[in-house]
Amino acid sequence: MPLPTKVKETAPAKINLSLHVTGRRSDGYHLLDSLVVFADCKERLQAEMRPGPSRLQVAGPRAAGVPCDGSNLILRAAALFEPDPGIAFDLYKTLPAAAGIGGGSSDAAAALRAVQRLGGAALPPMAQITALGADIPVCLSHQPQRMRGVGEQLEPIADLPDCAVLLVNPGVDVPTGAVFRSMACRENPAMVELLPSWRDFTEFAAWLAKQRNDMEAAALGLAPQIADVLAALRAQPGCALARMSGSGATCFGLFADLASAEAAAQGLSGQGWWVSAAPLLS
C-alpha cells in the first residue's frame, strides 16, 4: 500500500491531574510523578508532503503570536527526522499557549506522528524526543498515563472512571522556569508505587484530592489570578476537585459528567477567561 501524501492529526489538551515534583537531577532536569490525562478539546494539524524544506502556517482563534519559524516545536520535531522530510504543516490553534496544558508539546507529538505516517519511518529515539520537551513523550498517546522521571517513564492507566473537566485559563503568563525557581521544595513524596483501582468517579475524586500539584503554590505567588480561578471552580455545583494543571496558569475542575461541566462553563462565561468543558479521552 502506498504511503499517504497528506494526513491529519489532533493535538488534545494535556492535564496533570496530579503533579508531584520528587527531585532534581544534576543536569537541572526535575523529576516528576504525575497522573496525566487528555481532554477532548484539541487542536488540528494537517501535514502534506511538498517540495522544499518543511514549513508551518498557523490559523485559528489562538494563532496570534505563535511563531512559524524554526523555533516552533512542530518544525523542531520534524527536524528530528533526517533528512528534512519536506512537509507543509497547517495548525489550527485553539488552546492557550504556555498554559500548563501541553499545547506546544501536543502539537509536536502530532507532528511526529504525522511525519511517521507520511514517511513510514520509525520515531526518533525517545532521548531526542524528551530533550525536545519533557511533555512530548506522554503526548504521543492520548490515553491516561502515569509519567515519571523527566517525562520518559510512562505507564498506561487502564479503567479510569468516566468523567469530564472544565478548563479555565485567566489569560496570564506563568513561565515554567520561573515557577520552578520559586518552589520552596523540589524533593517531595511521590504517589504510591501501585496506584489503586478506582470503582467509580466518587472514589477516584476522593483519592485524587489527596494528591498534589507541587508547582501550584509557587505559581500562585507569581500569578494571584490563579487563586480566583480555583475559587470560582470550587464554587460550581458538581465540581469534585479544582487544581492547577502543569505549571499553570490553566486550572481544571473535575466533574462526574459532561453536562455538569458544561453547566459550570456557562456560569463562568462572563469572566473574560478562556473556558472549555470536555470529557476525558480514554
Active site residues: 14, 135
CB 66 within 8 A of CB 101: no
Bond into 83 cis (ω within 30): yes
Contact 45/90 with Cβ under 8 angstroms?
yes
Q: Which helix (H) or strand (E) holds 272?
A: none
Close Cβ partners of 237 (under 8 Å, ≥ 6 residues apart): 260, 263, 264
d(CA 197, CA 162) in angstroms, rounded, equals 13
Sheet holding 164-169, edge to edge: 241-244, 251-255, 164-169, 274-279
Cell of 60: 485559528
Separation CA 178–CA 10 (nearest Å)? 30
Q: Any idea which residue has 458544561 for its cell?
A: 262
Cα separation, 207 vs 93, whole angstroms: 34
The answer to whether the beta carbons of residues 125 and 12 sit under 8 Å apart is: no
Measure the CA–CA gap between 5 and 202, rounded to whole angstroms. 46
